Structure formats: C-alpha cells, structure tokens
Structure 1
Amino acid sequence: MDRRRLTARALAELADVTVVSLSQIKTGKQVPQETTVQRIAGALDYPVAFFHGADVDTLPAAAVSFRSLSSVTQRERKAAIAAGGIAYLVADWLHSKYTLPSPKLIDAGAERDPATAARALRQAWGLGEKPISNLIKLLEAKGIRVFSLAENTKNVDAFSCWRNDEPYIFLNTFKTTERSRFDAAHELGHLILHKHGGSNQGPQAESEANSFASSFLMPRADVLSEMPRVQSLQQILRGKKRWGVSAAALTYRLHKIGLITDWQYRNFNIQLRTDYGSSEPDSMQRETSTLWKMVLDDLWDQKLTRADIATGLNIPHGELENLLFGLTAASDRPPLRNDRPALSVV
C-alpha cells in the first residue's frame, strides 16, 4: 500500500474490501480468504505469493536520512522506505548467491569535523587527493549496498541507513548525474558521521553531510592546485568535469575555501541561472552499478534472467528494475565476452 502511495480507503475501494477488514488484515487480527488476497494483490499489482511469504524487513523510519526532509511528503517518504524494504529482499538473495565486499567504512563519530572525516576516509581508502571517476563503483567496492530509486519526484533526493552493520544508500535516478554523485557522497557522510550517538536528521546533520560531500568529492588541496585563480564561469564549467560535480557545487566550494569573492560567487550563480536555468551544463554520463552488471552477466551464463530473480523473490519485475538502475532491462541478452566478470559464488 505504501509502495503504491495508496491510502487505506483507496486500496479498500480498489480491492473491494472494507477499510475495517483491511486494517484487521494488516494487524493480523483477521485471516483473509484467498479471494480477498487475490483482489488485494491485483489492486497493488503484486504477485499473490508475495503476501504468503515471510514479513518484509522494513527500514526503521528514525534510522533513515532524507536529504530534503522538509519537502518530502508523507506518501513519498513511505513509498521510498517501502522500496528500501524490497531492496532488503534483493540484498538477502544476493548474499545467498555471492560473497560480497565487506564494509570498509571508518567511524568518524559526532566529534569529528566533516572535512577531517572526508580526508580520513580518503586516506583509509587510498584515494589521496585524486578525483573519483566513478563513485558508485567505489562505494560498492568498499562494501556499501547501493540501490536506485525510480521515484518520479524531485523531493526524494536520496537516503541511507545501516542494517545489521551493513550500509545502504538509495539514489533517485530522476536527478542529474552530478547531483546524484553529490547525493551519494552526502549519504556516505551520514553513514560515517551519524552512525552512533546522534541524529542523522535535522539542519545540523544535513549541513555536516553536505560539508563532508563537498570535501570528499573536491579535496581542498586538489582544488587549490587546479584552480588557484578563478576569473570566469568557463573555468568553473571546465573544472566541474574534473571532479564530477555540478557547476553550482563547484562554485560553492570555491567560495567556501576563499578562491572567489562574495561578489564573484553571486555573479557566477546569476550567470548559471541566466544561461542554463535549472539544467546542468554539459552533464556527464550517468553512473550505474558495476556490481549488479557483474551479477546479471553471471546469471546469464547460468541461463537465468531478471524474470527468474523477480519470480524467485515474488516481486514485480518493475520493482527489480527500479532498484538496479534499469540494468535488468538489458540483462536478457548475452554480455560481451571480453567483459566477463569474475564473481565469488557462495
């Protein structure tokens, strides 16, 4: 119901049951007849078998960070969290089939400065000051489970959470690549800054995660080395390609570390709005999951398709595609032979 953004009354009408009966079924006070289950499944466009399976492990609302919490409606929030519950099913299936990279995150703690935490994580991951070419690939290699959200709304940027000491990040593919990369780094900040002893929600937590993301994607030393003097917007548009960030994010970073004045900062932002509106100039190619590309290619070698995964999990095929960056849409054809992955199978 939450995943489909339906109220109890709307679902009751679609399934031809009373609101009271639906409430009692949800709370376990009433065992529905099979015909009722079929009507509810049909109304939600989910396989009947899904409702006969074990309870789905849900994301604790208090542990989930939404970047734009103030603008997210209750239905949008619930729908996104419900998608996370489906992602848990997919992740558990993945664990049962393959040995995945273990998480390699530092615990920055509430006392750590976000910029210091970003430098410490870069050092722990052996990144130095160099730009990150593919952030999703890096996160997956470091044991973070990254899923996509096909939420057709700008209100849900991204969110993250911990589950059994395993970090998860969910990204809205409705955004530009540059915005999605910043969202991913922002959520990475939440995971290491706010795992213990503090809320990952609220203005302070959001400000800390933003500061972490900016420092992580655009290291101060590298920015100072590459752009010691900034005199035109064209320099910023060239520079954004190096760090894979939006022109607005780089402009903010340049202002924050003192490379452009207040006047330049205002002027560059006016130029960006005037010349490009809300679009991103010269946007980069979208990043996607490397891990799931490897898995889907390996499954093809076993003569298994996306339909087999979805059917085995009793979820709609569309839900699987939404979570895997749309990769399943192309998974039912043979992979290139020179790109065969080496996977560790359980």
Structure 2
Amino acid sequence: MFNPSRLTLARQRRGFTKTRLAMEVDVAVRSITAYEAGMTVPKGETIQRLSKILAFPDSFFFADDIEAPNPEGVSFRSLKSMTAGKRDAALGASALAIELSSWIDKGFSLPDPNLPDLQDDEPEAAAEAVRADWGLGEKPVRNVVHLLEAHGVRVFSLAEECLEVDAFSFWRNGIPYVFLNTKKSGERSRLDAAHELGHLVLHRHDLPRSRDIEREAQRFAGAFLMPRSSVLANVSGLVTVPKLIKLKHIWNVSVTALTYRLHELNVLTDWQYRTLFKELSTRGYRKSEPDPCQRETSQVYAKVFKLLRQEGIDKRSIAKALHVTPDEINTFMFGLAFLSIEGGNQSEVVSSSAKPNLQLVPSTRG
C-alpha cells in the first residue's frame, strides 16, 4: 500500500517544496498535497516519476512509516538563519540514518549509551565530570568520533543537501545521535562533535533553544577538548600566532578555539585576545585552518563493513533492505568505501541470532 508519509519524507529529504515537485513530476500542486494527505493514491506511472525525481526506489513509497525527529528536540544551532527547507532536509536525512542505525543494531552488538545526565552542572564542571566518568583524566582526545562511538553515541555524517547545517544531535528512544558536517576542517569538526556531546549531557530534556544554551555547549566543548590543567601546564610565556599553531596540535583544535580557551582561562588579557584574533583574521586563519589535522571518521562503520564483506553482504543488500539507493547509504558514512563483493548473496542480511560484538576503543593519548 502506498505510504503518504514516505512521500513527504522523500520530498523534504531532497529539499523540494510541493510546488517544485509538482512541476518536476508534471502534476498539479493539489495532487501532491492529496498524495501526502492520503486522500489520493498516485498512479503507477506517477509513482515512477516520483521515484526518478526524488531518487528513491519505488519500494520506498510502500514501506512502513518512518518518523522524523521532532525539531523541538534537535540541537540545531540557529533556526533563525536556517530555512524551513534546510531544516526539513536535515530532519529527513536523520530519519533515514536512524533506519540505517536500527538495521545495524539488529545485526551487531554496539556499546550501550554511557552518557551522564548533567543538566544541573555548569559546562566546565560537566566536561570534567564526563572525562572522569569515561576515565580520560587530562589526556588529549585523539579521536572524538571514536570516543563517542565507544560510549554508545551513533555518529553520522551530514548529507550533501544539509551542508549548511554545522552539526546537530538528539536523543531517540534512549539512544544519542550526532550528525557532523564533513566539509569543515578536522579541528572544527572535532569541536562540533564535542559541542553536540555538550548538548546531549547538558540539555537532554528538550530545553528551549537559545543563545545561552549554545554558549553552554560551546564552553563544554572547549573544556572537554582542552582541560584547564592541561592547558595551564603546556602554555607559558608570550603567546603568538606561530606559537598557537604549534600548541594547537597538542589538543587537535583550531587556532581560534585555542585562543578563545586561553582567554577564558585568563592566560590572555582582553587586549592580547583582541590582538591575536585580529592577526588570525588578517592571515585568513579564521576561515582556513593552518596546518590542519586529518578529518575524523567512524570506527563502527569500518568494522561493520569489514564483517559484512566477510558474510558476502554488500552495500546494495543494505540499500535494498532499507528501500533506498546505495548512494543514500554513502551520505551517512563519512566517505568510507564499502567494496562490493562479486558473487555475494545480494539479498542476505545479517542474522540477528549471531550478533558480532564490536570492540570499540576510546581514543586518547598520553
């Protein structure tokens, strides 16, 4: 049976308005409205055109409901600067990513979520509490994505249609999800991941979005990646831009994030802070990171893909099970390659009776 909610999801996922979709499919706008309201079922040839225009298999429109996350529970940075279309595209992408996550969970035993609820803590104290709870001490975090995954967070990359969105996170059925923009520098993506961790532990209970909430998450991120005692132990003397570039590699953060943190810890005076930021702007370092680090990717999907290949299961099998295209799977996978297996069983899925237990290693360094 044709599922109207899936048409709405597909349209929003691609960033189409009803008017644009109607023009592309060559039907009246009222027809699209009727299809999505369940008042009329599109004819077979219309479904084929919808499938082609929206880049979803015909079967996608006949599968079970997919519920997109409630915008009120999603940590979008600023809805004022985000169009409704971009918001809906991001929510549509996240709904499909949740479907993929659920499929992986049926075949593999991933770590249970292990995030403390710190809604009553100040950001600095909350960052210290998470580090203590996870046994990190003052060590720099080598890979934030790996660390989050090791503690039960499901981390996905943002789809191309959603790249205007920095990053966002939410809780769904007791599972935390984080979505990261992979077009940003490695340092900025790490800060975004820590920022979203801040939302997950500080704002778990759907607090209203505000600038204060965003500042709390950003303060958490700085304190989590650059612990006070670690920074004070490594920074002394006159701070210059060349020195910042050298120091940033200790914590793999951007020069702007490090400058902000040094000012927050009173290592820099107001005048030094303004002077350094002016020089960073002049050199273009606020937009283009000097001596950038490598972008982080997922260890979960790398291990899942490896095990699936051993079972003769390729990307097309997963896409078929989820009623999407293989390219759709790619958008959430941080660009990881999933090699096709010639001669494999293309319809096979992972058996839930023998779920491999993935061993995920929290990434820190001494």
Q: State the SS of the aligned residue for 1:66.
A: coil
Deviation (angstroms), 1:289: 0.3
Identical-pair percentage? 43
Preserved CA contact (<8 Å) 2:66 2:95: yes
Equivalence for 1:224:
232
| Count, aligned residues | 335
Q: Structure 2 vs 1, CA of residues 153 and 344 (structure 1 numbering), >3 Å: closer, same or farther?
A: closer
2:67 corresponds, among 57, 73, 91, to 57
Preserved CA contact (<8 Å) 2:55 2:325: yes
Unaligned runs of 5+ in 1: 335-341
* 2:264 counterpart of 1:256: yes
Equivalence for 2:188:
179
Equivalence for 1:234:
242
Superposed CA RMSD in Å reads 1.7
Equivalence for 2:4:
none
Deviation (angstroms), 1:154: 5.8
2:163 & 2:16 partners in 1: Cα distance? 19
List per-residue Cα deviations over 1:231-286 (Å, max 9, x = no partner): 32122111111111100000000011100111211121122122235200000011
2:110 & 2:55 partners in 1: Cα distance? 31
Bigger shift: 310-319 or 279-288?
A: 310-319
Letter in 1 for 2:257: A
Preserved CA contact (<8 Å) 1:37 1:48: yes
Deviation (angstroms), 1:230: 3.7
1:21 & 1:135 partners in 2: Cα distance? 47
Letter in 1 for 2:298: S
Deviation (angstroms), 1:330: 4.6
Deviation (angstroms), 1:162: 0.5
Q: Structure 2 vs 1, CA of residues 154 and 235 (structure 1 numbering), >3 Å: closer, same or farther?
A: farther
Equivalence for 2:333:
324
Bigger shift: 31-40 or 251-260?
A: 31-40
Taking structure 2 as the reference length, the TM-score comes to 0.88
1:66 & 1:130 partners in 2: Cα distance? 29
Q: State the SS of the aligned residue for 1:133.
A: strand
Q: State the SS of the aligned residue for 2:141.
A: coil
List per-residue Cα deviations over 1:109-153 (Å, max 9, x = no partner): 1x2101111100000000001100000000000000000013367
Deviation (angstroms), 1:63: 0.6
Q: Structure 2 vs 1, CA of residues 291 and 185 (structure 1 numbering), >3 Å: closer, same or farther?
A: same
* 2:128 counterpart of 1:119: yes
Preserved CA contact (<8 Å) 1:151 1:174: no
Pairing of 1:21-32 with structure 2 (within 5 A): 21-32=31-42
Bigger shift: 49-58 or 149-158?
A: 149-158
Pairing of 1:195-344 with structure 2 (within 5 A): 195-196=204-205, 198-199=207-208, 201-277=209-285, 278-327=287-336, 329-332=337-340, 343-344=356-357
Preserved CA contact (<8 Å) 1:71 1:155: no
2:236 & 2:341 partners in 1: Cα distance? 49
Deviation (angstroms), 1:42: 1.3
Unaligned runs of 5+ in 2: 1-10, 343-354, 359-366
Equivalence for 1:339:
none
Equivalence for 1:338:
none
Bigger shift: 129-138 or 75-84?
A: 75-84
Deviation (angstroms), 1:227: 0.6
1:131 corresponds, among 118, 133, 140, to 140
1:104 corresponds, among 114, 136, 152, to 114
Deviation (angstroms), 1:38: 1.4
Pairing of 1:37-56 with structure 2 (within 5 A): 37-56=47-66
Preserved CA contact (<8 Å) 1:68 1:157: no
Preserved CA contact (<8 Å) 2:180 2:192: yes
Q: Structure 2 vs 1, CA of residues 114 and 60 (structure 1 numbering), >3 Å: closer, same or farther?
A: same
Preserved CA contact (<8 Å) 2:107 2:356: no
Deviation (angstroms), 1:14: 1.1
Preserved CA contact (<8 Å) 2:14 2:161: no
Equivalence for 2:350:
none
Q: Structure 2 vs 1, CA of residues 197 and 332 (structure 1 numbering), >3 Å: closer, same or farther?
A: closer
Preserved CA contact (<8 Å) 1:230 1:260: no
Deviation (angstroms), 1:16: 1.9
Equivalence for 1:337:
none
Equivalence for 2:155:
146
1:134 & 1:88 partners in 2: Cα distance? 23
Q: Structure 2 vs 1, CA of residues 249 and 190 (structure 1 numbering), >3 Å: closer, same or farther?
A: same
Preserved CA contact (<8 Å) 1:80 1:151: no
2:88 corresponds, among 78, 82, 93, to 78
Runs of 4 or more above 6 Å deviation:
none
Letter in 2 for 1:263: W
Q: State the SS of the aligned residue for 2:106.
A: helix
Equivalence for 2:3:
none
Letter in 1 for 2:44: E
Letter in 1 for 2:317: D
Q: State the SS of the aligned residue for 2:12.
A: coil
